[in-house]
Amino acid sequence: MKRSEVVAAQHRAADMLDAIGIILTPQEREHVEVAEFGLGKLELQGLQLVTYINTDRYCAKELVLFPNQTCPEHLHPPVGDDPGKTETFRCRHGVVYLYVEGGNGGTIQAEVPAGSESFYTVFHEIELHPGQQYTIPPGTKHWFQAGETGAIVSEFSSTSRDEFDIFTDPNVVRIPVVTED
């Protein structure tokens, strides 16, 4: 990703948070993480994150999804003696379609990103609206997509070790690579 694309996504995500009353400090605005997963399609498969705290015991983040943006399927594996990350998603704005392992009702409301269909394998749908939440156990495959107006999700979890996340798509690069313009 080019630095100018990162900066534009950081501003857009911070503005979305501001619009719903989640105010960031100037430092937080400057350090919004933009994850395009090495796929080169941020608007389609990507995620913007603000990490408030991440210690060896707990983590708190805001996840910002642009309209119809998808975070690719992944799981949080055990790391050492830790069973893997448990995370609770609480929807703050918009609609988020969360997919986890389990039964499928036949159809889903999200649209799997074209060209990546074989990398999406779990389709038990949980539809979250503002004020609703869902907890994902460690080691559970999941992916999520914003509705038409985007979505903001507060994540409360055990320690986050993003570098160990396992993505179904082998092309995913979790830690962003940013190039100068």
pLDDT, residue 91, reads 98
- Is 176 domain-assigned? no
CB 132 within 8 A of CB 32: no
pLDDT tens sequence across 119-145: 999 999 999 999 999 999 999 999 999
- At a CB cut-off of 8 Å and minimum separation 6, what does 3 contact? 178, 179, 180, 181
pLDDT in tens, 50-100: 999 999 999 999 999 999 999 999 999 999 999 999 999 999 999 999 999
39 pLDDT tier (thresholds 50, 70, 90): very high
Whether 146 maps to a domain, the answer reads yes
> Domain containing 44: what range?
3-167
Cα 104 → chain centroid:
21
Would you say residue 179 lies in a domain?
no
CATH number of the domain encompassing residue 147: 2.60.120.10
Q: In the chain, how many domains are there?
A: 1
For the chain, where are the E strands, in sequence order? 33-35, 47-54, 59-65, 70-75, 87-100, 124-128, 133-136, 142-157, 166-167
* 91 burial level (CB within 10 Å; 0-12, 13-18, 19+): buried
Q: Which of 86, 121, 115, 79 is nearest to 100 (CA)?
A: 121
Which pLDDT score, from 0 to 100, does residue 2 have?
94
How confident is residue 174, by pLDDT bands cut at 50, 70 and 90? confident
What's the pLDDT tens digit per position in 8-38?
999 999 999 999 999 999 999 999 999 999 9
Answer yes or no: are the C-beta atoms of 62 and 154 closer than 8 Å: yes
Q: Is residue 48 part of a domain?
A: yes
Let me know if residue 93 belongs to a domain.
yes
174 found inside a domain: no
Question: For residue 180, is it within any domain?
Answer: no
How much is the average pLDDT of 34-49? 96
Q: What are phi and psi of 156, to 5 degrees?
A: -120, 125
What's the confidence (pLDDT) of residue 178?
A: 87
Residue 113 three-state SS? coil
C-alpha to C-alpha distance for 81 and 85, rounded to whole angstroms: 12
Helix (H, G, I), strand (E, B) or coil at 81: coil
Taking CA atoms, 162 is separated from 52, 54, 156, 159, 173, in Å, by 15, 11, 14, 9, 11
* Residue 13 belongs to some domain of the structure: yes
